[in-house]
Amino acid sequence: MTDPIDTTILDSFDFYLNKHDKSFTASIVGGGAIYLIARAKVTGDIDTITKIPEDIKRLSKAFALEQDIPQRWLNDNVSNLAQDFLRSGRNPFHSLVYEGSAVKLYVPYKPDLLLSKIFPMIDRPDGQDLDDISLLVKEGFISKQEFDEAITLFQRQISLMNPDEKDEAEIVVQIVENERDKLFPIPTKIPKLPITPSKEKSQTDKKICQVVGCNNPVHFRPRTDPKRRKKGYCTQCFNQRS
């Protein structure tokens, strides 16, 4: 298993570049970006979508020898399809995720970051990229609107793909949309009961009107007719005696 690349390595590399009077700023994607955002994933390398200058490449390899880590721990060989798209005009330096004295690492616009995980799914259907996407959402880094935008951007690129890639890409869209629906379930709406105005209904006392020969029940409104209820008259007899 590849030794994990973490903030300890980045801090050491930052010190190393500073010692050589060099600085390095890059936009990163992949596992390195996920790690720096969520601190919940081990990564074996740092993938940049911006070109790494040759002098920084040489220093990163020399640093790797000192640290006994893979020489390509810092690389810019991201999938060409994603790389070309991400470099097509949008700002790759959207959110700062690591800042040292000599090293600054950013992640691109959030839908673009998602795209960097969606594109590899065409050739890598092992579920790893989908897990990374889920992690970004669960950490609160990606909203549903940003998720939807990433899917839309990916669908636009399908028309530029060759026929074999198109078929695979359509399957990827279905998988990603299903994952989105799981991560952002539509809340169940509780139907509102109609509100009817409160009306105080007439009540019927069990008593029969006390007037001799009258068998009518005593009707009354508790709040407005306490007198009639007390005397025990039906409406007709009460009105005659009032």
* pLDDT of 78 over the 50 cut: yes
At residue 98, φ and ψ (nearest 5 deg) are -150, 135
String of DSSP letters for the chain: -PPPP-HHHHHHHHHHHHHTT--EEEEEEHHHHHHHHHS-S--S-EEESSPPPHHHHHHHHHHHHHHTS-TTSEE----HHHHHHHTSSS-S--EEEEE-SSEEEEE--HHHHHHHHHGGGGT-TTSHHHHHHHHHHHTT-S-HHHHHHHHHHHHHHHTTS-HHHHHHHHHHHHHHHHHHHHHSPPPPPPPPPPP-------EEEEEEPSSTT---EEEE-TTT-HHHHHHT--HHHHHHH-
Nearest to 25 by CA among 130, 105, 112: 105
Question: pLDDT (tens digit, 9 = 90+) per residue, 101-152?
Answer: 999 999 988 998 898 889 889 888 778 889 889 989 988 889 999 999 999 9
Mean pLDDT of 39-53: 84
Residue ranges of the domains in the chain? Answer: 7-183, 203-241
State if pTM tops 0.75.
no
* Mean pLDDT (whole number) for 25-38: 89
Provide the pLDDT for residue 228: 47
> Residue 204's pLDDT is what?
45
- Contact by Cβ (8 Å): 219, 202: yes
Nearest residue to 100 via CA among 28, 44, 22:
22
The confidence score (pLDDT) of residue 200 equals: 45
